[in-house]
């Protein structure tokens, strides 16, 4: 008989912040903790940890109820309702922003919050990493994840760890067409990259081990602006990763965030390109031009469905202390590089590639500008009537002249 499978879920939402789009008020996080304490007591969830990145509240939950479970999602929904109430009372900015429906209908999908969940048989020891990003989009994880899982020059484990060498299956989502496809690395690596290189359309949803270890990584790919049919906030993504023993090691996951300065879409008004800034949650306030896009990485061990960080064994009420990988001085250089690259992007002002292409802009005034100019735009082929009549006999001379020039 196989062991009961544990589910690890992150459900996240931006339901208001102080100041502007900077960070949720501590009372909002406390309110979420209280809801999840009750959910733990009621046996809905096994354990939890409440944190944030920038203006997004992130709820880490472990349980045995499977993915998209009504009770687990319902508890998260209640956290965001309570936090919204506080944000409204305090008149915080964008209070209730990611709550798109009045009534909870079974799970948070399509209702505003983002979620990433994975279910697996807990191994003898189960190291987990939780990535959380603010002011960017789900495909921001594509570059680091492809380096980690597909590039042997980045992850030596792909060459020298027998199980990692068997490769990985990638579930790739086409976020525009609402379709998915599973492709395998290393065999299809270059075809995988030919899709994923278009980060405006394709994103990695899941990566599974081909050595029978189960899920390795899962990303939230809910696209808020598409969900609501209008702009309601960038879909700041989270990513859960299992590590070690046939999967990338903790250090193989963190390495790309120091080795490369990665440009991602989002940042100010969800309409710019900025560099990923790895930092601790405490340092994740978007302080420079609403960014640059932050990414945090917290680690826990899983112990029979419970989270174990640096706190004493048996901690209650979500009082955990994760290992904060990007909060260390090792990543000072990555932060300096991210600011340098972001300042360089800003030097382009409102011109691409500092801003996104027209179809990706979260904010635009262009339709109004074009509407106002409708009667003033003329075709480049249209010749002014009088000039055209006069020009006709002169045509021969012009072409002759051209011919001479060519000769």
Based on the shown chain and the rule CB under 5 A, indicate whether residue 161 belongs to the binding site for Mg ion: no
- Binding residue for Mg ion, selected from 47, 117, 126, 134, defined by CB under 5 A: 134
Min separation Cβ 344 and ligand F6R, Å = 19
Q: Does 137 bind Mg ion (CB under 5 A)?
A: no
Q: Give me the 285-324 binding string for ligand F6R, x by CB under 6 A, dash otherwise.
A: -----x----------------------------------
CB closest to ligand F6R, residue no: 290
**Interface with ligand F6R includes 270 (CB under 6 A)?**
yes
Q: What DSSP string describes 308-370?
A: ESSSPTT--TT----EESTTSGGGHHHHHHHHHHHHHHHTTTTSTTTBPPGGG-SS--HHHHH
The residue from 14, 161, 290, 324 that is catalytic is 14
135 binds ligand F6R (CB under 6 A): yes
Dist CA 116 CA 278 (whole Å): 20
Active-site choice (65, 205, 223, 234): 234
Q: Contact at 8 Å (CB) between 202 and 172?
A: yes
Binding mask 222-251 for ligand F6R (x = CB under 6 A): -----------xx-----------------
Asked if 78 contacts 338 with a C-beta cutoff of 8 angstroms, the reply is: no
Alpha carbon distances (Å) from 245 to 123, 179, 209, 252: 10, 32, 11, 12
268 binds, options Mg ion, ligand F6R, none, Cβ within 5 to 8 A by partner type: ligand F6R
Q: Counting contacts by CB under 5 A, is residue 285 touching Mg ion?
A: no
Q: CB neighbours of 101 closer than 8 A, spacing ≥ 6? A: 111, 112
Q: Are 24 and 57 in contact (CB under 8 A)?
A: yes
Instruction: State whether residue 400 is helix, strand or coil.
Output: helix
Residues of the shown chain interacting with ligand F6R in the complex, contacts defined by CB under 6 A: 20-21, 135, 233-234, 266, 268-270, 290
Residues of the shown chain interacting with Mg ion in the complex, contacts defined by CB under 5 A: 14, 21, 54-56, 134, 233, 236
Q: Which residues are catalytic?
A: 14, 231, 234
């Amino acid at each position: 008989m196989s062991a009961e499978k544990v589910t690890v879920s992150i459900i996240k939402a931006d339901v208001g912040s102080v100041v502007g789009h900077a960070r949720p008020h501590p009372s909002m996080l406390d309110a979420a903790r209280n809801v999840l304490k009750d959910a733990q007591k009621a046996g809905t969830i096994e354990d939890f940890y409440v944190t944030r990145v920038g203006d997004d509240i992130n709820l880490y939950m472990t349980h045995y109820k499977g993915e998209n479970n009504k009770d687990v999602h319902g508890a998260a929904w209640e956290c965001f309702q309570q936090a919204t109430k506080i944000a409204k009372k305090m008149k915080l900015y964008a209070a209730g922003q990611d709550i798109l429906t009045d009534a909870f209908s079974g799970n948070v999908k399509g209702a505003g919050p983002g979620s990433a969940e994975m279910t697996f048989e807990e191994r003898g020891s189960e190291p987990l990493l939780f990535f959380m990003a603010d002011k960017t989009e789900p495909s921001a994880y594509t570059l680091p994840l492809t380096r980690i899982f597909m590039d042997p020059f980045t992850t030596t484990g792909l060459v020298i760890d027998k199980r990692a060498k068997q490769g990985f299956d990638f579930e790739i989502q086409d976020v525009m067409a609402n379709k998915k496809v599973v492709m395998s690395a290393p065999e299809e690596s270059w075809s995988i990259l030919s899709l994923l290189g278009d980060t405006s359309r394709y994103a990695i949803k899941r990566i599974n081990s081909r050595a029978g270890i189960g899920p390795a990584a899962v990303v939230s790919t809910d696209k808020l602006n598409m969900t609501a049919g209008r702009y309601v906030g960038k879909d700041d993504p989270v990513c859960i990763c299992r590590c070690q023993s046939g999967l990338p090691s903790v250090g193989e996951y963190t390495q790309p965030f120091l080795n490369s300065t990665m440009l991602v879409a989002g940042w100010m008004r969800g309409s710019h390109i900025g560099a990923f800034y790895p930092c601790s949650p405490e340092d994740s306030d978007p302080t420079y031009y609403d960014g640059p896009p932050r990414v945090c990485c917290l680690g826990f061990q899983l112990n029979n469905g419970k989270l174990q960080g640096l706190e004493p064994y048996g901690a209650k009420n979500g009082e955990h202390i994760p290992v904060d990988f990007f909060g260390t001085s090792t990543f000072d250089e990555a932060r300096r590089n991210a600011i340098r690259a972001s300042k360089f992007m800003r030097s382009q002002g409102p011109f691409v590639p500092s801003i996104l292409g027209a179809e990706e802009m979260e904010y635009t005034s262009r339709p109004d500008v074009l509407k106002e100019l409708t009667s003033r735009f003329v075709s480049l082929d249209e010749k002014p009537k009088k000039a055209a009549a006069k020009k006709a006999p002169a045509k021969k001379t012009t072409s002759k002249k051209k011919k001479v020039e060519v000769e």
